[in-house]
Amino acid sequence: MKTPQIKLENVWKVYQTGEIELEVLKGINLEIEEGSFVILLGPSGSGKSTLLNVMSCLDTPTKGHVYLDGEDVSLLSEDELATTRGRKIGFVFQQFNLLHHLSALENVALPAVFQSVSEEERIKRSSDLLDAVGLSERKDHTPAKLSGGEKQRVAIARSLINDPEIVVADEPTGEVDTKTGSKIMSIFTDLQKQGKTIIIVTHDLSLTEYADRVIKIKDGVLEDE
Amino acid sequence: MSKEYFRLAVRNIKKRALRSWLTILGIVVGSFLVVSLISLSEGLNKAVMAELQAVGTNIVMVLPGDGMDITAMFGGQELKNTEMEAIRRSRGVEVALEMPFTIEELRWRGRTETALIMGLDLQDGYSVLRDDMGWDVREGEFARAGRREVLAGNLVPRDVFPGLEPGDEIIVSGRRLTVSGILRSLGNREDDKSIIFDLPDYRNITGTTEGTPVAVVRIEDGYDIDLAISNIERSLEETMVRRRGDDGASFSVISSEAMIEMVENILGVIQAGIVAFASIAILVGAIGIMNTMFTAVRERTKEIGILKAVGAKKKHISSIFLVESGIIGLLGGAMGVITGLAAARFGEFILASNPNLLISIEAQAPFYLIFLTLFFSFLLGCLSGFLPAKKASQLNPVDALMYE
């Protein structure tokens, strides 16, 4: 059997605030195959974002193991995690999280800076990516001059700059209208066709139609699929 | 890679222009002080040294009292005739001149003013004054011995008797004397405002027969200076002990080289003081940078989270902040150097246009001064950015991303 691209083994995440222990993830076991389109569905406070963070090397589990391509990433140092994120995972956030003093092109190119990609190559790649998401005319605009949908497309282009295997998105349609939302979802569908694994966290049931797998989470526990 | 940090840093500095400039200003103040004051004091150093070096190396000063105690100069301790004789008797001594001075009332064209008058043996002292001390007239003739002639200091025709000219008569204690010439500057303001009398005239006017707070001694050509100094010391010691008893022998004999060394030490202390105070100013500026950078880290927490999410390592994050604080330091240093040099030039101009001042100073800005100022402002910038940068690099990406 093929090794799953992402594998979670009894993953716990516990936050300690003073005397109170908050168990956000309670022993999650999960496997995700390469090239799948997964929706993590759950109400707010269910732990779905924390689960996404742990799967995408942004956060480490309090207990348990996370394997990425068979490697136990829960043992990696912070800098090693950063490198893994930079190379293998593209991030798309609900609030776009673009740097507002950089142009669209510079925002897209930014993750490549940390992978020591040459400037020439960075400009070429980010320019191509902006063309691909239909923002050829907007390359020199700063985020303030872009609409919500445009910002999210810049963010998607940014997530792809290092050609990651996995693209994760936390409520990517949360800040845009329905029509723009479906455009964004079709970009993700295209990415899946190119062979990338897509993992999207949402509380929006309507997004499940794009997915070939829906994982429901409630109170830090996965519900049966 | 570093080009990106630089670009990012410049953009961040520009974005918060007012705060950045204020922070930079904190560093400017310190480096401005260092550059302007040090280059002026270097100029002072050079001018004083030139002045001192004009005094022949075969000239030795004898002062009564302990060491270079300034109070001894004014405290009434004097070398008497027997002591002058003892100096003159010493082997190696060619000439020993008394140089007494006091304040007297002088009259010129019906005006009465008080001025410093000085007595000098123009007969014996002529060549010492002209050749070894560099005295010269700018107008008229050098005074001759025994002719009731006096020399007016450089500033006398301006500050004491405005309009005084060579050939004019002045009256002191009922005696008429002729001003034979006006001296060039002797290098300090007090001396330049004084009037120099032939020693016999000075004694008559002041009603004294002996006593001088200082003796200027010329050593014979080719005679070893140190040997001559110890000869003078031994001879004075014997005379003083005979006259005043064991405790009476206190005096110092200083060569012009020792004088230079002493002045060098004093100027060194002044410079050290300048550096110390300016360093405190720079340090305060550095605290300003640290404050600004901590604020920047807090404001940009979310940005740090984004950078970390997209793959920035700790060193990337800390570099971004270090480069920024380094640039602030370097900019402050550079502006301090420029304004400091300008101020030093301005100071030089002010000093040059004010004839009341001791000596004209030419501001000196050696390369090392500029280089060190720039280097240390950059270094301090980096150092003050170090803790904020470390804090930034250690932020947890998830927490940083959620920060609003």
A188 within a domain of the structure (yes/no):
yes
The Cα of A92 is separated from the nearest Cα of chain B by a number of Å equal to 10
Contact B312 A114 (CB under 8 A): yes
Under a CB-based contact definition with an 8 Å cutoff, are residues B99 and B84 in contact? no
A3 within a domain of the structure (yes/no):
no
Contact B398 A79 (CB under 8 A): no
Domain residues for the domain of A213 are 34-60+77-222
Residue of B20, B307, B310, B313 best to disrupt the A interface, most CBs of A under 10 A: B310
Given B1, B315, B398, which is nearest A59 (Cβ)? B398
- What is residue A225's predicted lDDT score, i.e. its pLDDT? 67
- φ, ψ at B362 (rounded to 5°): -110, 115
Torsion-angle region of A25 (φ positive above 0: left; ψ -120 to 50: alpha; else: beta)? beta
Given A58, A111, A158, which is nearest B397 (Cβ)? A58
The Cα of A183 is separated from the nearest Cα of chain B by a number of Å equal to 24
Average pLDDT over residues A191-202: 94
A120 interface with B at CB cutoff 8 Å: no
CA distances (Å), A196 to each of A37, A183, A185, in order? 9, 18, 14
Across A100-109, A114-123, B236-245, least confident range: B236-245
d(CA B115, CA B159): 10
Q: Judged by CB atoms within 8 Å, which residues 174-213 of A form the interface with B?
A: none
Contact A85 B311 (CB under 8 A): yes
The Cα of A1 is separated from the nearest Cα of chain B by a number of Å equal to 31
Contact B309 A58 (CB under 8 A): yes
Torsion-angle region of B167 (φ positive above 0: left; ψ -120 to 50: alpha; else: beta)? left
A17 within a domain of the structure (yes/no):
no
A140 within a domain of the structure (yes/no):
yes
A78 interface with B at CB cutoff 8 Å: yes
- What is residue B72's predicted lDDT score, i.e. its pLDDT? 47
- The residues, ordered by sequence, that sit 6+ positions from B393 with a Cβ below 8 Å of its Cβ are B314, B315, B317, B318
Band of residue A105 on the pLDDT scale cut at 50, 70, 90: very high
Q: Which residues in A lie closer than 8 A to residue B302 (C-beta atoms)?
A: 97
Given B12, B312, B401, which is nearest A97 (Cβ)? B401
Q: Which residues in A lie closer than 8 A to residue B396 (C-beta atoms)?
A: 59
SS3 string, chain B, reads CHHHHHHHHHHHHHHCHHHHHHHHHHHHHHHHHHHHHHHHHHHHHHHHHHHHHHCCCCEEEEEECCCCCHHHHHCCCCECHHHHHHHHHCCCEEEEEECCEEEEEEEECCEEEEEEEEEECHHHHHHHHHHHCCCCEEEECCCCCCCCEEEECCCHHHHHCCCCCCCCEEEECCEEEEEEEEECCCCCHHHHCCEEEEHHHHHHHHCCCCCECCEEEEECCCCCHHHHHHHHHHHHHHHHHHHHCHHHCCEEEEEHHHHHHHHHHHHHHHHHHHHHHHHHHHHHHHHHHHHHHHHHHHHCHHHHHHHHHCCCCHHHHHHHHHHHHHHHHHHHHHHHHHHHHHHHHHHHHHHHCCCCCCCCCCCCCCHHHHHHHHHHHHHHHHHHHHHHHHHHHCCCHHHHHHCC
Q: Tokens 């609900």 appear where?
A: A94
Under a CB-based contact definition with an 8 Å cutoff, are residues B138 and B183 in contact? yes
A99 interface with B at CB cutoff 8 Å: yes
The Cα of A151 is separated from the nearest Cα of chain B by a number of Å equal to 15
Q: Tokens 């790649």 appear where?
A: A125
Q: Which residues in B lie closer than 8 A to residue A15 (C-beta atoms)?
A: none
A23 within a domain of the structure (yes/no):
no
| B401: Cα within 13 Å, side-chain hemisphere | 22
d(CA B343, CA B331): 18
- CB pairs < 8 Å spanning A and B: 58
Q: Which residues in A lie closer than 8 A to residue B397 (C-beta atoms)?
A: 58-59
- CATH number, domain of A188, equals 3.40.50.300
Across A10-24, A135-149, A150-164, B73-87, least confident range: B73-87
d(CA B392, CA B293): 10
Contact B306 A99 (CB under 8 A): yes
Q: Which residues in B lie closer than 8 A to residue A83 (C-beta atoms)?
A: 311, 313
Whether the pTM exceeds 0.95: the reply is no
| Cβ atoms < 10 Å from Cβ of A118 | 10
Q: Which residue of A has its CA nearest to B305?
A: A97
A16 within a domain of the structure (yes/no):
no
Contact B313 A83 (CB under 8 A): yes
What is the overall mean pLDDT for chain A?
Answer: 92
Under a CB-based contact definition with an 8 Å cutoff, are residues A220 and A30 in contact? no
d(CA A82, CA A114): 9
The Cα of B303 is separated from the nearest Cα of chain A by a number of Å equal to 7
Q: Which residues in A lie closer than 8 A to residue B310 (C-beta atoms)?
A: 85-86, 91, 110-111, 114, 158
Q: Which residues in B lie closer than 8 A to residue A111 (C-beta atoms)?
A: 310-311
Given A53, A93, A111, which is nearest B311 (Cβ)? A111
Q: Report the number of distinct structural domains present in chain A.
A: 1
- What is residue B282's predicted lDDT score, i.e. its pLDDT? 87
d(CA B283, CA B291): 12
Q: Which residues of chain B have pLDDT under 70?
A: 1, 66-76, 244-249, 354-360
Choose among A157, A141, A148: nearest CA to A178.
Answer: A148
The Cα of B271 is separated from the nearest Cα of chain A by a number of Å equal to 46
A141 within a domain of the structure (yes/no):
yes
d(CA B11, CA B13): 5
d(CA A198, CA A209): 14
> What's the pLDDT tens digit per position in B283-334?
898 999 999 999 989 998 999 999 999 999 999 999 999 999 999 999 999 9
Q: Evaluate the CA torsion angle B302, B303, B309, B313 in order and state its sign.
A: negative
Contact A82 B308 (CB under 8 A): yes
- What is residue B357's predicted lDDT score, i.e. its pLDDT? 55
The Cα of B326 is separated from the nearest Cα of chain A by a number of Å equal to 21
Q: Kindly list the residues of chain B whose beta carbon comes within 8 Å of any beta carbon in chain A.
A: 1, 3-4, 11-12, 15, 302-303, 305-316, 396-398, 401
